[in-house]
Structure 1
């Protein structure tokens, strides 16, 4: 069999699935089923509008927090800590051994460290002149 590399300008979900399917099968053969569980916690304002929250997924016994967002005017009001605490409860209930995430140098590394997260990796120049940090918290 001969393979050809084809760049796709506007990839679709079907393109993503075609790339993911063989990787998923390989991973399941070697590491077992990942037990994926999406995690979404939404912050709403007084009018019921969605204004922030937490987005992540449990997979292979860890919760990855992909997004955490609190409106700027509400930061310092313990919403971020409450979201992370609730997400940790979900992760524990799902049998996870920990949580991990990434954050930019100009974002919230100190916030996460106050919650018990530790640095396990740094990517320099992402974006150029700054850094991206990878943190984890083992239960």
Structure 2
């Protein structure tokens, strides 16, 4: 199985709310699917980022 790793993904405050973050996640998801990846794991301690990922349809499987 192919592996995909991204260490950091974020956007500057001035770009928030313009669809750039969603576009980045969609592009990364498309690439991962083409490479045969079946799962995407996100890790964040930022509540705003968690809300953003939830909005995109990701679900939590664990919280610390």
* Structure 1 pair 110–78 and aligned structure 2 pair: CA distance change class (3 A): same
Structure with the higher fraction of residues in strand conformation: 1
CA distance in 1, matches of 2:57, 2:6: 14
Q: Larger radius of gyration, structure 1 or 2?
A: 1
Paired residue for 2:29? Answer: 88
Q: Given that residues 66 and 101 in structure 1 are in contact (C-alpha distance below 8 angstroms), is that contact kept between their aligned partners in structure 2? A: no
1:104 is paired with a residue whose SS is coil
In structure 1, the gaps of 5 or more residues are: 1-33, 37-57, 59-63, 124-139
| Aligned-residue RMSD, C-alpha | 1.7
Identify the structure with bigger relative contact order (alpha carbons < 8 Å, sequence gap 6+). Answer: 2
Q: TM-score, structure 1 length as denominator?
A: 0.42
Report deviation, 1:65: 4.2
Deviation at 1:76, TM superposition (A): 0.5
- CA deviations on 1:80-126 (whole Å, 9 max, x unpaired) are 00000000000000011121111114441110011111111112xxx
Gaps of 5+ in 2: none
Query: How many pairs were matched up?
Result: 64
The answer to whether the 8 Å contact 1:65/1:100 transfers is: no
* 1:106–1:113 distance in 2 versus 1, CA, 3 Å: closer
| Structure 2 counterpart of 1:119, from 45, 60, 64 | 60
